[in-house]
Structure 1
């Protein structure tokens, strides 16, 4: 379902599969929600392991919304995520990594 070359990651929420993607709008929303000074500060926060559970939820929510999900953070807070919290955190990390990865064989725009 998800296209990793487009930066997408699949997450199953309440038994329904969703493709997550960090669009520019989703990244701007995430940056604001985290109170980060910049997008680099967001990435540094996760790479350094200085994130909280709420940060993971905000990242997943931004990715889900970027993929077209119409839910809100409150919906995600009460949702059943397949694979549990560990899978959710791994999916969030993969989502952030794929947002900034250049697909193999792709040149610069």
Structure 2
């Protein structure tokens, strides 16, 4: 079960429940992937709400790895969710909100 106080989010991918978390290591991975120089730059990028499908995939994959699940970006790209694209976006937004604060991203 996800612990919101630790920035954890629950998600069902391929019919399996997972606990996702953007740990410090996961955030460092996202900084590198998005070319962000620091956490403020990364948060500003997320605040723009202009994320590609590749961005959603990376955020979810980093959240899975941060939650202790060994899943590559390619494996996550093949996972299915009920609700399609809207659910992928909801999972990513919930991770961002749990990590950077409640803000508007908490209610995508």
Matches within 5 A, 1:1-109: 1-101=1-101
Deviant stretches of 4+, over 3 Å: none
Structure showing the higher helix proportion among its residues: 2
* TM-score of the aligned structures, taking structure 2 as reference length: 0.86
Unaligned runs of 5+ in 1: 103-109
Report which structure shows greater RCO (CA 8 Å, sep ≥6).
Answer: 1
Total equivalences in the alignment? 102
Conservation of the 8 A alpha-carbon contact between 2:43 and 2:100? no
- Pairwise CA RMSD of aligned residues? 1.4
Supply the distance in 1 between the matched residues of 2:53 and 2:39 (Cα, whole angstroms): 19
Question: 1:29 Cα deviation (Å)?
Answer: 0.7
**Structure 2 residue runs without a partner (length 5+):** 103-108
